Chain A
């Protein structure tokens, strides 16, 4: 079993804006291409051109339909990756110590040397955020692009996770939740950011901004006051209106 740090200096994580995410999968694929060629074993694709293609992704977008009590049904796009929980059950369940949470920044990682691919951590994660790579037999998960965010070989403005840098809609934000003045902390405060499944007691670091209330902008009661009902009335109005220009 592996211990969690009592406290981390920083709490790095993501804010994902469900009001803006259009479900385009940009974050999914850019994550895949960065992470398959950088830290750790590649993210393999089994039967890549065959009948049942199935590969390893560290981030996926799910789409749900929500039908409110009254009003139109809605579509919600829901990106999901490791939430880097403060009480990460995937860490405490790890029999080899391969899974760990860093005390300096709170990132949950897998030391691939020590991972034996038992899959216990994936079972323990209530979010389904870990994937066992079928070709390598090694557990893969979001690293918060740890090999980007401190990387002095890339421009400073790019030192953020690949999913955040690539998101076309600007629906993903990266920062330190331990700093109440950080952009991510402010967004959570302003937009009622929420935990995913708080009842699981995992204390996730990543937060979601809920969709704003839909279908209330226009309603069915507003209407314009008529200036004219008949074409002739319109001309009279027009004459007058032109004089006012």
Chain B
């Protein structure tokens, strides 16, 4: 209806010509959306009620999709750089010319030095595809952005219990009675957590929020624990101390489902000290409670005696549980010992432990659902401990994050609240223990595909990717002694290492969807310099940079060749069970994106461009026998590729008649079937298989049936992590594979087989009087990294990020409203606007993440507040630790996984002269797309 029409009593206008259902990409959450089209234009986007992720709801980001799709920042055509790097001067070229340039750089490298291509993808939702391409090319240098995101959470989860939070599992929202949430990046399970909290509260459940900042979920938490950053592990260990002291642990659960009863060699001098006692077949041994004899842990009818000791060959073996109890009952983990460091009172920690125990053990849930376990034992009911947890970036992005995340999983397991009613539940294809994941692979022979996937789960020093001299094989040094369990790689180290030639120089840096010249890098100003740095010959130190993005982001100006991607409404994608699917605890599910509108520019979905490039490079698997292109485009790959016989990217409607679920021959009509079904497929887990998944025979059989794996893979949870102990043993000098001398102590300290807390590295390295405050970022619920703040609607909600300062510090420093401050870290100094906040840990300052923009980027005007008053904390965070004087470059990362330690930052603040702009104020690059229109009145055409 247009202006002037009187409103009828019961107006019933036509909403749109057509609804097309696809998957959102306004953040990483992957909700189902109904896209309403009128006259070929997008009129309205709403949540898809049938979709497993969002069940109809849609967040601010998703609702702003129209402005993202029609953004003036969209790139229009392939481009080659014609001015100096960083200038933003480009010339539009054809796709053929773009491919010729790319093949001209990448082709010659492949036969002799494939490692000189570094291919890293950012917020990629097609990693099983992009990694396959990189495997075929043969470079060892591939990963996505997990290393600077939340790899600690993922790695700790897989190693400990076969899955972590978000894509791996979820709270049992309908049955949980107490939900404890630690710091999160909001796009990680965005709508499901909001919906879950709403449901839990409606059911009378309670929420405990653990976060230095009381915003978002913590604002609605019934109880707020305003913990000091980097001390979450200590807090959790003190809770475990209390639970163990009181005997409030689920012993039956521990006996049956964990390695608590495994016998560990306990004499320090023994040759197998710290390893499990194993039989000739390698099966870990327990003492059987029935007869006191040794037995394999998984033998039918055997129940491990957790209290047992055992002697053999003069060596003593004790159960993992006893070692665990000794560790956490120690006074160093008592509430009194940790309270001050955590910024909490001991009484509060004790009370939290008591409340967790009360709900877990006094509000037990019983479901009358018989089930059969992996040993064939029948159970007549399912017993639930209705305490559920969630955590993500907040506890993960510290240099002690791996062990902190492990500690949280130990707490869940001690309470018996994993994979039980009311607790935490895995989503297919998880649970999946570390042994069921691939090992990491690098190239054996130049010019040949890699023998397996790049990323995987090392089980000991033998799985590291190091050469005979112990040097890293990968440019990011993943799976080297520096970060042995870096299961997602270290994208944040690629540019720095390539620039330094450490461990070697590269030729071509190929990036997708990662704003590495801005908010995705630590030490942003210096990274921009590295990207433009020239050697004595006047050549760039990183010779070639290819970048694919849909938008005119900050990174575009630093590339030599641009492959323009589509918007999320113009592309094919698959959210695959081979990758990071959209499953629920009750169902396996996958989804597609499809072009609900056709691009009106000379752009191409990046994955389709990779199909073209793979063919032009002649990569095995990307060409047919006659040398012709194998996959016409990404859609062709999605429907025809088979990873294993009968198992492909999409699980639904396999076989030509659409009869296959999970397994079956490729179906040329598969995408049409998905479109007919609203863009997704879902296969429900049988009732008998809904809980106890790692040990539930019905679940294991169902999972094999739909092709999640090829044989049942029951396992027990790793309270005690033997692979970590193996790394420690190497550091102690045992075995053929030995770390460099200077890393021995750090490996010994970081790879404790039971989580220990250590001070975050930057925290330990800098003077606390000089840098008295912790500094953090939070992601606004209405923004997804740098995409959000270019959006005409979303940027009206937030276009300036102030540094929030706790009231006491604010008063001490004499700040007033509207003030600006200098913020200094051991690495640098920035000038920023400030604001007071009292609902905040008293030693912590923080700001919203990724609001700040570089002048001239994203089609915003050069005086946009995002550029003049917005800022990045990244300038203060170095990718390296402060120089130790040993000539080495130590990553500011977790020593176990390489996770970027964003949140270890310590700063000082002082009042600055009034007014902006925020500093550093980098000059604008030339916009490749001009500037957006002055005014928008979207909808006037309808």
Contacts and interface: CB of A to CB of B under 8 A. Distances in A.
B809 interface: no
A75 B215 contact: yes
Interface stretch (A80-88, A120-128, A196-204, A215-223): A215-223
B813 interface: no
Given A25-B797, A45-B793, A53-B795, A222 B289 contact: no
B9 interface: yes
Nearest to A138: B3
A241 B38 CA distance: 68
Contact of A24 (B1, B59, B321, B939): B59
B219 A23 contact: yes
Contact of A150 (B11, B59, B792): B11
A237 B247 contact: yes
Interface in B71-102: 72
B252 interface: yes
A168 B194 contact: yes
Contacts of B13: 38-39, 147, 151, 153
A136 to B, nearest CB: 7
Contacts of A147: 1, 7, 11-13
Contacts of B47: 165-166
Nearest to B326: A231
B195 A169 contact: yes
B935 A32 contact: no
Contacts of A67: 838
A137 B797 CA distance: 22
B198 interface: yes
Contact of A65 (B799, B838, B864, B937): B838
Given A73-B838, A166-B47, A217-B355, A38 B1 contact: yes
B307 A168 contact: no
Interface stretch (B345-353, B436-444, B497-505, B599-607): B345-353
Interface string B817-858: 000000000000000000001111000000000000000000
Interface stretch (B220-228, B625-633, B696-704): B220-228
Contacts of B890: none
Interface residues of B, number: 119
Contact of B796 (A45, A154, A169, A234): A45
B4 interface: yes
B58 interface: yes
Interface string A142-184: 0100110011111001100010011111110000000000000
B865 interface: yes
B799 A22 contact: no
Contacts of B12: 147, 150-153
A146 B191 CA distance: 26
Interface string B319-350: 00110011001000000000000000101101
B307 to A, nearest CB: 5
B936 A170 contact: no
A36 B939 contact: yes
A49 B859 CA distance: 7
B16 to A, nearest CB: 9
A168 B214 contact: no
B245 interface: yes
Contacts of B60: 24-26, 28-30
Given A30-B46, A113-B6, A168-B54, A25 B244 contact: no
A214 B14 contact: no
Interface stretch (B378-386, B483-491, B680-688, B926-934): B926-934
Nearest to B357: A224
Nearest to B304: A242
A224 B933 CA distance: 63
B348 A217 contact: no
A28 B56 CA distance: 16
Contact of B861 (A49, A217, A221): A49
A43 B131 CA distance: 44
B208 interface: yes
B697 to A, nearest CB: 22
Interface in B362-405: none
Given A217-B206, A220-B345, A227-B246, A26 B792 contact: no
B778 to A, nearest CB: 12
Given A169-B198, A171-B198, A214-B223, A55 B796 contact: yes
A219 B11 contact: no
Interface in B213-255: 214-224, 226, 242-248, 251-252, 255
A25 B220 CA distance: 15
B66 interface: yes
Interface string B190-214: 1100110111011000101000001
B719 to A, nearest CB: 14
Given A75-B219, A171-B198, A154 B348 contact: no
B220 A41 contact: no
A220 B6 CA distance: 60
A104 B222 CA distance: 40
B942 A37 contact: yes
A29 B223 CA distance: 29
A53 B792 contact: yes
Given A72-B214, A225-B246, A239-B307, A135 B351 contact: no
Contact of A39 (B1, B859, B860, B932): B1
B49 interface: yes
B43 interface: yes
A19 interface: yes
Contacts of A231: 325-326, 329
Contacts of A37: 38, 43-44, 938-939, 942
Given A26-B59, A166-B46, A242 B793 contact: no
Given A20-B198, A47-B935, A111-B7, A224 B306 contact: no
Contacts of B306: 238, 242
Given A28-B60, A135-B935, A229 B837 contact: no
A24 B192 CA distance: 13
B127 to A, nearest CB: 26
B220 A19 contact: yes
A67 B865 CA distance: 30
A36 B43 CA distance: 9
Contacts of A154: 15
Contacts of A41: 2-3, 937, 940
B839 A72 contact: yes
Given A22-B220, A36-B939, A42-B939, A113 B864 contact: no
Nearest to B36: A37
A131 to B, nearest CB: 12
Nearest to A163: B63
B11 A146 contact: yes
A153 B347 CA distance: 58
Interface string A95-110: 0000000101000010
B767 interface: no
A44 B223 CA distance: 41
B354 interface: yes
A23 B223 CA distance: 18
B57 interface: yes
Interface of B: 1-7, 9-15, 38, 43-47, 49, 54, 56-64, 66, 72, 190-191, 194-195, 197-199, 201-202, 206, 208, 214-224, 226, 242-248, 251-252, 255, 289, 305-307, 321-322, 325-326, 329, 345, 347-348, 350-355, 357-358, 781-782, 790, 792-797, 799, 807, 837-840, 859-861, 863-865, 868, 931-940, 942
29 contacts: A20-B198, A22-B220, A25-B781, A29-B61, A33-B64, A33-B66, A34-B44, A45-B935, A53-B796, A65-B839, A67-B838, A73-B838, A73-B839, A113-B5, A146-B11, A150-B9, A151-B12, A165-B57, A166-B47, A168-B190, A169-B198, A215-B222, A217-B206, A218-B223, A223-B351, A223-B354, A237-B247, A238-B322, A242-B306
* Shortest 5 CB-CB contacts between residues of A and residues of B: A49-B932, A224-B246, A37-B939, A170-B198, A73-B838
Given A29-B64, A39-B13, A214-B224, 4 more contacts: A38-B15, A75-B215, A222-B350, A223-B351
